[in-house]
Amino acid sequence: MVGQLVEGPAAAPPARRGRRNYTPYLLLLPGLAWLVVFFVVPMLSLASQSLQTGDVENGYTQTFHFQNYVDAMSQFWPHFLRSIVFAGTATLFTLILAYPLAYFMAQKSGRWKNILLILVIAPFFTSFLIRTLAWQTILADNGLVVSIARTTHFTDLLQWLQLTSNDSLMNSKFAVICGLTYNFLPFMILPLYASLERLDHSFIEAAGDLYATPLQTFWKVTWPLSLPGVVGGTLLTFIPAAGDFINSRLLGNTTTVMIGQVIDSQFLRVQDYSIAAALSFVLMLTITVLVAVYVRRAGTEELV
Amino acid sequence: MTDKTSGDLKLSGITKKFETFTAVDQLDLVIPRGSFFALLGPSGCGKTTTLRMVAGLEQPTIGQIFIGSQDITDTKAYQRNVNTVFQSYALFPHLSIVDNVAFGLRRRKVSDHKAKAMEALELVQLAHIAKKKPGQLSGGMQQRVALARALVNRPDVLLLDEPLGALDLKLRRQMQIELKQIQSEVGLTFVHVTHDQEEAMTMADTIAVMNGGRLEQVADPATLYERPASTFVANFLGQSNLLKATVKRRTGTTAELDVHGVSLRLPVDRLKADTTELWLGVRPEKLRLVGAPDGAGTGADQHLEHNRLTGVVTDASFTGLATNYLVHMPWGQELMVVQQNDGTRSAARGDQVTLGWAPEHGFALNAKQDAHAGSQDQADDSGAV
């Protein structure tokens, strides 16, 4: 044993050097293969599709028809705008709801921490679709929520804000935003929790020690140090919410149609593959640009 | 900064309980303005809890805290004119060094906060890295920034929570001297919490030794060392030989003691009037190897003639500056002896030697106390000695 320990390093380098060149690439291979087959190839096929002309019956031909993009946007730009506004609003609400909860879980919950974490993840044990359908019941006209909203004149406020069109809650912008907020809440909580959990309590004590009031401590220390979690959470919420097609279909009406729903119906019902592909590309590009601008503005690269 | 808030820091009847555990028990302490004060004790002795109560980070269960004549017990941390250098430094990672230092000044809306922060950084010789982030600095630099960030506010009391604990030995020595210099330069009250007795002795004017939530002794370093008030202090600060003794008689200024059948002397003022049983303590470096047991002592050993014990050397280790001996006594106890490497007598393992010491180098401790109190911690911290 001792002999091996002494001789080991001297004998090892030649063998290790030969292996070192290939092992990481071999390990990368399965993941790369997966990405090529299920991401790069479909992406190229989609890109190609978006520039083709024709129809399902007679087949498509590649004509580099950039007019597809112009047609898609001129027809569906309101849906784009609406998707971004809905997703942005829902993201803001999830942040407002998730931050205090994540803070409590990370800093104050003690031995309840794990139970709370399980409760946050618990909704994932049910299907996304069923959870969204449940909101139809929650917001239904004969439900408790509606009657409370009516007696407190919350429905009037929503109408004034043009989030609903009558004194119901279902089939409205309000319902869609509620659904989006609810469905993506865990995606906001978890990164915030991870970020706030790492926050050393001595920073908060140090701020107090240096004459910062609790409010100043939050804005000068806690909030900036939790920014990586805020950015992570908002991205994980905003990106899927902007492309979502379930919430607006199940909880909205014809004036709340989001771009995900449009792409879905262009592909599967209208079967205009080229327009659908063009819309998909524009959505991807829009989100990429928004995210890039947002991440730069948030300045998180300076944080450790 | 008004007269009302500046002055001595006074803890009056402070008790802090955490559920069933009493961290600090009936603590009364006055820390004079402008002094460098150390709270010394093993981990869990309540020193950090005491510091956190002064900072306002913990609320005492019972008792009051005053700065000067002002009762600050119920004020929040951010309302107190007290600043802390945290053990982990707690420098804000998202702010530059100068913004870290200016943090307290900004909260107080001090107009020229930037200039004052730079001044404080110059004091700790770090003005050149003002624009860097804490993550880019070494531990020693971060420590100094943490100090500057607290100093710049000119608090009534500056608290240091084991500030040198994370530094390596060499840097720690250097920072001890630097801290002491800065303290005398700015003249603020420093309260320094540490478990390192050498660090406390090097830096502080006054040391409060804590154990089990209570004060063992409050004194200057020399008094603590030469006249420890308890077996805990005797063992925690340096090393002590404690001999079981009974008082035989008192004559004038000298008391005659019986230690396992040997007659030894001690100045009578070291004893309480009613003491009959005691621990006679003597520090290892006060013991001398004197002449052979037949009494052929040299002239220099003459004043050691009254206190003599004979034993066999069981261990001798040469450390350069000195030689450390363990000498086995006839009644089974092993005495520690540190003999300066000054060309005087030396001995080897197995030699029979006679130890002598001057009566005034002895100290008396309560016989009811545990002779080994505090010594375990001493062994744990031996790397720092």
DSSP state of A218: I
Same domain, A89 and A190: yes
**Integer Cα distance of A221 and B92 in angstroms:** 7
Q: What Cα–Cα distance (Å) separates residue B352 from each residue in A4, B236, B282, B303?
A: 49, 30, 20, 21
* pLDDT value at residue B341: 86
Phi-psi region at B166: left, alpha or beta (left = phi > 0; alpha = psi -120 to 50) = alpha
Segment 91-130 of chain B within 8 Å of chain A by CB: 91-94, 103-104, 107-108
DSSP state of B162: S
* pLDDT value at residue B291: 66
Task: State how far residue B176 is from chain A, nearest Cα, in angstroms.
Answer: 23
- Beta-sheet strands, E only, within chain A: 52-55, 59-62
The answer to whether B66 faces chain A, any CB pair under 8 Å, is no
Same domain, A154 and A297: yes
In the predicted model, is pLDDT for residue A302 greater than 60? no
Residue A243 near residue A104, CB atoms below 8 Å: no
Which positions ≥6 away from B198 have C-beta within 8 Å? B384, B385
What superfamily in CATH does domain B231-384 come from?
A: Nucleic acid-binding proteins (2.40.50.140)
Residue of chain A nearest B136, judged by CA positions: A304
Decide if A55 is inside a domain. no
Residues of A in contact with B84 (CB under 8 A): 205-206, 209
Residue ranges matching CATH 2.40.50.140 in chain B: 231-384
Cβ distance B82 to A209 less than 8 Å, yes or no, reads: yes
Alpha helix (H) ranges present in B263-382? Answer: 375-380
The answer to whether A298 faces chain B, any CB pair under 8 Å, is no
Q: How many domains does chain A have?
A: 2
Average pLDDT in the A258-285 region? 92
Which positions ≥6 away from B209 have C-beta within 8 Å? B40, B41, B215, B216, B217, B218, B224, B232, B233, B236, B237
The answer to whether B76 faces chain A, any CB pair under 8 Å, is yes
Same domain, A99 and A181: yes
Residues of B in contact with A303 (CB under 8 A): 93-94
CATH number for A145: 1.10.3720.10
ipTM confidence:
0.80
Decide if A149 is inside a domain. yes
Lookup: tokens for B192? 């320094």
Decide if A4 is inside a domain. yes
For residue A94, the surrounding DSSP H or E stretch is helix A67-103
Q: Which domain holds residue A276?
A: 76-302
In the predicted model, is pLDDT for residue A254 greater than 60? yes
The answer to whether B239 faces chain A, any CB pair under 8 Å, is no
* pLDDT value at residue B385: 30
Task: Give the residue ranges of chain B where pLDDT is below 50.
Answer: 1-5, 293-297, 377-385
**Integer Cα distance of B275 and A288 in angstroms:** 86
Which among B234, B255, B233 is positioned nearest to B246, based on CA atoms?
Answer: B255
In the predicted model, is pLDDT for residue A6 greater than 50? no
CA dihedral (B92, B96, B164, B57) positive or negative: negative
Residue B316 near residue B300, CB atoms below 8 Å: no
Which positions ≥6 away from A145 have C-beta within 8 Å? A138, A139, A169
Same domain, A194 and A251: yes
In the predicted model, is pLDDT for residue A7 greater than 50? no
Task: State how far residue B84 is from chain A, nearest Cα, in angstroms.
Answer: 7
* pLDDT value at residue B300: 54
Same domain, A170 and A291: yes
The answer to whether A225 faces chain B, any CB pair under 8 Å, is yes
DSSP state of A272: -
Which among B111, B103, B65 is positioned nearest to B84, based on CA atoms?
Answer: B103
* pLDDT value at residue B108: 92
The answer, as to whether pTM is greater than 0.90, is no
Cβ distance B77 to A209 less than 8 Å, yes or no, reads: yes
Decide if A60 is inside a domain. no
Decide if A141 is inside a domain. yes
Which positions ≥6 away from B377 have C-beta within 8 Å? B42, B195, B236
Average pLDDT in the A235-255 region? 92
The amino acid occupying position B218 is: V
The answer to whether B383 faces chain A, any CB pair under 8 Å, is no
> How many CB atoms are located within 10 Å of the residue B365 CB?
23
Residues of A in contact with B77 (CB under 8 A): 205, 208-209
Q: Which of A203, A204, A209 to mutate to test the interface with B (most CBs of B within 10 A)?
A: A209
* pLDDT value at residue A8: 43
For B9-226, CATH number out of 3.10.20.440, 3.40.50.10860, 3.40.220.10, 3.40.50.300 equals 3.40.50.300
Residue B335 near residue B285, CB atoms below 8 Å: no
pLDDT tens figures, A8-31: 444 444 555 555 688 888 999 999
The answer to whether B19 faces chain A, any CB pair under 8 Å, is no
The answer to whether A224 faces chain B, any CB pair under 8 Å, is yes
Cβ distance B103 to A212 less than 8 Å, yes or no, reads: yes
Same domain, A149 and A208: yes
Q: Which residues pair with B279 in a beta bridge?
A: B244, B365
pLDDT tens figures, A175-219: 999 999 999 999 999 999 999 999 999 999 999 999 999 999 999
Instruction: Give percent of chain A with pLDDT exceeding 90.
Output: 65
pLDDT tens figures, B18-34: 988 999 999 999 999 99
**Integer Cα distance of B359 and B103 in angstroms:** 57
The answer to whether B372 faces chain A, any CB pair under 8 Å, is no
Nearest to B90 among A205, A213, A216 (CB): A205
Which positions ≥6 away from B89 have C-beta within 8 Å? B134, B142, B143, B145, B146
**Integer Cα distance of B89 and B97 in angstroms:** 12
CB under 8 A, 24+ apart: contacts of A262-270: A262/A76, A262/A79
Nearest to B93 among A205, A220, A304 (CB): A304
Residues of A in contact with B56 (CB under 8 A): 208-209
Lookup: tokens for B310? 């004979």
Residue B1 near residue B81, CB atoms below 8 Å: yes
Residue ranges matching CATH 3.40.50.300 in chain B: 9-226
**Integer Cα distance of A68 and A73 in angstroms:** 9
In the predicted model, is pLDDT for residue A221 greater than 50? yes
Decide if A58 is inside a domain. no
